[in-house]
Amino acid sequence: MSPPDNAVQLALIVPRMPHPLLCPDASPAYAALAAGYAAARARIIAAKPDVLLIYSSGWASVIGHQIQANPDAKWTHVDPEFHELGAMPYHVHMDAELGAAWRDAALVRGLQARTVSYQGFPFDTGSIVALKLLTEGLDIPASIVSSNMYADRAETVVLGKAAGEALAASGKRAVAIAVTNLSHWLHPRPVPPAEDRVSSRQDDEWNRKLLELLGQGRLEDVSQLARTFTHQAHADNKLKAIWWLATVAGAHNRYQGDVLAYGPVQGAGCAVVALTPDDTTAANLEFDEDDVEVFHGDRNVLATSTGDTVATPSPRPPASPPSSVAPAPQQDRVDVAADQAPRPVGAYPHARRVGELLYLSGVGPRQAGTDAIPGGPIRDGDGQPLDYDIRAQTRAVIENVRKILEASGSSLDRVLDVTSFLVDMDRDFAGYNEVYAELLGPVGPTRTTLAIRALPTPIAVELKVIAAAGPAR
């Protein structure tokens, strides 16, 4: 078995209902799901992950994507629906560092995102059930993201890519988990557990179709069927969790798939599925939906700015459906996140291409992955000044510029204009100017050099660059 090169060692789909935790013996179906959870736990133990990455379908968000980041969260939860089943005390540990990196990666990719680490911030039932049944007592931290109620496929795919990017940068190995039911159409009234069934035959049939594909390891195919599933059955939150899971695991079908359990919980279709990366399986099946890298906003037909069309419903009955017109397309605009460049320290891309021009965000000398500063930092952690090498810093800055340009499909010899910022003009101009002349002098861009009071990190020099897009000449 030869797993693809991905830091996700195992992908899981688990249900978000509390019954397998709180009343597993109430029905054979609940017991089977609890047993499926136990089998999934055994897979996790075997995989020895550093962290769990989780998308929770039952945790709704509005303002972008929220990531649980409390390293020591302790509370007692009672499910708002099934409160009679009892309380769920929990004490869980979030990987705050990975959560922050995931947030930053999401910001760079154009998403709204934030970490949440308030004492008492609610964990949803599904997250708690998953953590308790899968890893209680195992001391594996987690990073859990919410399900934005407005996000559709493109946004959710980008969220998954941000998670994968943060995971790869961390060097950690993960189990990725989609906490979601398949169909989610509860009986309108509680039914005795022994009489429980999936609430419609159509839901049940579609659940089984998905499980057949998942049993073949075809996770990406199931992801691309999610819209159809939502039209045909009562999907749990559009199966956004599956979009995310397929993406973070690498958007392919090369898994060994095992359906560990399937059954009803108060009408919802619940399954436990394990997908182990395996190059010898399913192989070259079709999947062809857009593979979006950066989120540029949804079509946002209700927005009133930027020329988008307003959907204006009539308040006069009988009301007719609101009309809408597709918004003007985005300008020829692409944002670039360069893996080899230092991570941004704010919500901005490394570069943005507009038409034939490439605009770079300010570039400093920090090294990708480590944030080390060649030539040394200009001050220590207490703010005390340190000696540093401006030549080494300048060389590192221009090298980072080169990496970003190449990641953008351009090159150093296409630089058109440079604005340089020095924190100490008197001390550093000569050394900076010398290295600049060596590396960028032959290219000959226009240049402005400014003295400023400080930069956001302890560095002495930063460059702002405009370049021509396109390959090297």
Contacts with other proteins by CB under 8 A lie at 59-64, 66, 76-78, 80-81, 83-84, 86-87, 112, 116, 118-122, 124, 146, 148, 150, 185-190, 266, 302-304, 310-319, 322
What is the closest distance, in whole angstroms, from the C-beta atom of residue 355 to other proteins in the complex?
A: 26
In the bound state with other proteins, the residue whose beta carbon lies nearer, of 62 and 452, is: 62
In the bound state with other proteins, the residue whose beta carbon lies nearer, of 188 and 381, is: 188
What is the closest distance, in whole angstroms, from the C-beta atom of residue 356 to other proteins in the complex?
A: 30
In the bound state with other proteins, the residue whose beta carbon lies nearer, of 321 and 381, is: 321
What is the closest distance, in whole angstroms, from the C-beta atom of residue 116 to other proteins in the complex?
A: 6
What is the closest distance, in whole angstroms, from the C-beta atom of residue 105 to other proteins in the complex?
A: 18
What is the closest distance, in whole angstroms, from the C-beta atom of residue 307 to other proteins in the complex?
A: 14
In the bound state with other proteins, the residue whose beta carbon lies nearer, of 21 and 211, is: 21
C-alpha pair distances (Å), 158 with each of 314, 328, 337: 35, 22, 12
In the bound state with other proteins, the residue whose beta carbon lies nearer, of 1 and 326, is: 326
Structure tokens at 98: 């990975």
What is the closest distance, in whole angstroms, from the C-beta atom of residue 312 to other proteins in the complex?
A: 4
What is the closest distance, in whole angstroms, from the C-beta atom of residue 181 to other proteins in the complex?
A: 12
In the bound state with other proteins, the residue whose beta carbon lies nearer, of 184 and 402, is: 184
**Which one, of 434, 456, 454, 445, lies nearest residue 405 by Cα?**
445
What is the closest distance, in whole angstroms, from the C-beta atom of residue 296 to other proteins in the complex?
A: 14
Neighbouring C-alpha atoms within 13 Å toward the C-beta of 431: 17
In the bound state with other proteins, the residue whose beta carbon lies nearer, of 132 and 353, is: 132
In the bound state with other proteins, the residue whose beta carbon lies nearer, of 14 and 265, is: 265
What is the closest distance, in whole angstroms, from the C-beta atom of residue 96 to other proteins in the complex?
A: 15
Contact between 460 and 393 under an 8 Å Cβ cutoff? The reply is: yes
In the bound state with other proteins, the residue whose beta carbon lies nearer, of 46 and 348, is: 348
What is the closest distance, in whole angstroms, from the C-beta atom of residue 427 to other proteins in the complex?
A: 35
> Which residue type, as a one-letter code, is found at position 96?
A
- The rounded distance, in Å, linking the Cα atoms of 57 and 263 is 18
What is the closest distance, in whole angstroms, from the C-beta atom of residue 384 to other proteins in the complex?
A: 31
C-alpha pair distances (Å), 255 with each of 11, 12, 55, 140: 9, 11, 20, 23
In the bound state with other proteins, the residue whose beta carbon lies nearer, of 315 and 355, is: 315
Which sign, positive or negative, has the C-alpha torsion 43, 48, 53, 56?
Answer: positive
What is the closest distance, in whole angstroms, from the C-beta atom of residue 131 to other proteins in the complex?
A: 17
In the bound state with other proteins, the residue whose beta carbon lies nearer, of 47 and 347, is: 347
Structure tokens at 267: 């009408």
Q: Can you give the three-state secondary structure of the chain, one letter per residue?
A: CCCCCCCEEEEEEECCCCHHHHCHHHCHHHHHHHHHHHHHHHHHHHHCCCEEEEEEEEEEECCCEEEECCCCEEEEEECCCCHHHCEEEEEECECHHHHHHHHHHHHHCCCCEEEECCCCCCCCHHHHHHHHHHHCCCCCCEEEEEEECCCCHHHHHHHHHHHHHHHHHHCCCEEEEEECCCECCCCCCCCCHHHCCCCCHHHHHHHHHHHHHHHCCCHHHHHHHHHHHHHHCCEHHHHHHHHHHHHHCCCCCCEEEEEEEEEEECCEEEEEEEEEECCCCCCCCCCCCCCCCCCCCCCCCCCCCCCCCCCCCCCCCCCCCCCCCCCCCCCCEEEECCCCCCCCCCCCCCEEEECCEEEECCECCCCCCCCCCCCCCCECCCCCECCCCHHHHHHHHHHHHHHHHHHCCCCHHHEEEEEEEECCHHHHHHHHHHHHHHHCCCCCCEEEEEECCCCCCCCCEEEEEEEECCCCC
In the bound state with other proteins, the residue whose beta carbon lies nearer, of 1 and 319, is: 319
